[in-house]
Amino acid sequence: MRSSAVSLAAASVALGVVALVLFAAPLWYAWQVTIQESRTEILQADAQRLAEVYRRDGEAGLAATIGARVRMQIVGERILLLTDGRLRPLAGNLASWPATVPTAPGNYRVTLQSGAAGTQSALAHVERLGDDYLLVARDNRLFGPLVHRFWYGLAAAFAALLICGTLVGLITRRRLMWRVHGIRQTISAIMQGDLKQRLPTGRREDELAILAHTINGMLDQIEVLVNGVRNVSNSIAHDLRTPLAELRSRLEQLALIRPSPAETFTEVDGAVADIDRVIRIFDALLRLAEIDAGVRRAGFVRVDVSDLAATAAEFYAPAAELRDVRLECRVGGPLPVVGDPVLLSQALANLIDNAIKYAPAGGGVVEVVAERRGDGVEITVSDNGPGIAGGEKARVLERFYRGDASRGTPGAGLGLSLVQAIAKLHGCGFELRDRRPGLEAALRFPPAAATARAERPDAAASAARAILAPHDGR
């Protein structure tokens, strides 16, 4: 298995080796150059001193000095050789002039064959004293241990790097695997249906913890959705069962009693009304599903919400009149937003319908206001009815929830959740505020929705709407 921890460690080790080489190579080079230079200087100074002796005491004197020096020193450390003009040795610790060394004065790097020590690399200096030749050489072997120590050090550093890297890689991998294993266990528990489980996040804020936080957020959302679906299916079961049960008993009764034709027709009409109720709930649910799925966003165009608000208010005016409720509509100039005109109309209609239903009959006031507020656009629908208690506000947005006050009034309890879903689709805020007395429902379009240009040009949009609404020559 290719582990990310191991490859990371390997990469670090490789990087360390490169750094080591980059560090050692110049050092090695500088060292070599310096040693060469200082040793050459030493040889030259040595030769200089011997030349001094030659000038002062002549050939015999120098031969004696060299002889004394050779006897005093340790074997092989320093090589001295004095020969006459025909390269016959006069004094020194070499038997003859080595073939590898030229006779011209200067500095050479050579290989020498010297008695017991065998072949050795050396630095040689050749000097011409009168007719004689002087060879001063110094064995390189002296620096051997130093060079070895340098290479050993380098090798040790390399090994340490390798071992540490491998260890770190293995440990990291173990720890990662351990944490990943924890996550996997939690996730498999979740997959088995325990949606309450959450990933361990620990106290640290590392990458895995951030990932775990994100996944936990996702799980929260999934849990909410799943619970929502569960609630909805329970509610569907309840809300569809009731009218279907009524329908069933109505028809059964009819088959059983076989009443007069007139009565039969009344019952049949009632049955059709029952079915219409079921269909209505179905349609509302389908629309909710459609909105939740976000497919409707494809139909977004530029619409004037003040126009929509005015139309909705005007549509409901007779209904308000019938209940002796004053319906006021205050809309400013055009307030263009990007949205689905059908859905926005439906949201407004639902809000106004609710407001009229809950405003007290005789003396109730419903206000519809559309205005620019700050950067955005806000539409509010308010009434002076009983309002909604603080705790109930969130619940009225739930699907199929019907407040105690609404028992006995028609409706499936989907109105406000539909408004909320529509608001969500449009990126709108939807808020229910207390008005004491009464309730204010506010739809807030953010600046983006309120000012953004429609994705489709308006011509195409109106064409689409024209198709939707085949007019009779209007």
Give residues with Cβ within 8 angstroms of 272, minimum separation 6: none
Q: 204 or 474, CB closer to other proteins?
A: 474
CB 464, min distance to other proteins, A: 6
Q: 41 or 321, CB closer to other proteins?
A: 321
One-letter identity of residue 282: F
Q: 233 or 462, CB closer to other proteins?
A: 462
Chain centroid to Cα 55, Å, comes to 85
Q: Detail the DSSP E strand segments found in 199-354.
A: 301-304, 325-331, 336-339
Peptide bond into 145 cis (omega under 30): no
Q: Write phi, then psi, for 226 (nearest 5 degrees).
A: -65, -45
Alpha-carbon distance of 277 to 254, in angstroms, equals: 20
In 10 A of CB 239, how many CB atoms?
A: 21
CB 465, min distance to other proteins, A: 8
Q: 84 or 324, CB closer to other proteins?
A: 324
CB 217, min distance to other proteins, A: 31
Alpha-carbon distance of 149 to 94, in angstroms, equals: 31
Contacts of the segment 443-447: beta carbons below 8 A, 24+ positions apart:
443/347, 443/351, 443/378, 443/379, 443/380, 443/419, 444/373, 444/376, 444/377, 444/378, 445/305, 445/337, 445/339, 445/376, 445/377, 445/378, 445/379, 446/375, 446/376, 447/374, 447/375, 447/376
CB 318, min distance to other proteins, A: 4
Residue 241 has, within 13 A of its CA and on its CB side, a CA count of 6
Q: Which two tokens stand for residue 17?
A: 């080796």
DSSP labels for 367-418? EEEEEEETTEEEEEEEE-S----TTHHHHHTSTT---GGGTTSS--S-HHHH
Q: 93 or 346, CB closer to other proteins?
A: 346
Q: 334 or 374, CB closer to other proteins?
A: 334
- Cα dihedral sign for 351, 356, 358, 359? positive
CB 346, min distance to other proteins, A: 4
CB 454, min distance to other proteins, A: 16
Q: 26 or 408, CB closer to other proteins?
A: 408
- Count the helices and strands in the chain (H runs, E runs): 10, 12
CB 227, min distance to other proteins, A: 26
In 10 A of CB 23, how many CB atoms?
A: 12
CB 235, min distance to other proteins, A: 17
CB 174, min distance to other proteins, A: 53
CB 294, min distance to other proteins, A: 12
Pairing of strands 132-139, 78-83: antiparallel
Q: Which two tokens stand for residue 380?
A: 């509010």
Give residues with Cβ within 8 angstroms of 291, minimum separation 6: 343, 418, 421, 422, 424, 425
CB 366, min distance to other proteins, A: 14
Q: 223 or 353, CB closer to other proteins?
A: 353
Q: 193 or 362, CB closer to other proteins?
A: 362
Residues in the site for other proteins, rule: CB under 8 A? Answer: 269, 272, 275, 279-280, 283, 286-287, 290, 295-296, 298-299, 311, 314-316, 318-319, 321-322, 342-343, 345-346, 349, 353, 410-411, 415, 464-465, 467-474
CB 474, min distance to other proteins, A: 7
Q: 379 or 422, CB closer to other proteins?
A: 422
Alpha-carbon distance of 192 to 55, in angstroms, equals: 104
Tell me which DSSP letter residue 116 carries: G
Q: 114 or 354, CB closer to other proteins?
A: 354
Q: 72 or 298, CB closer to other proteins?
A: 298
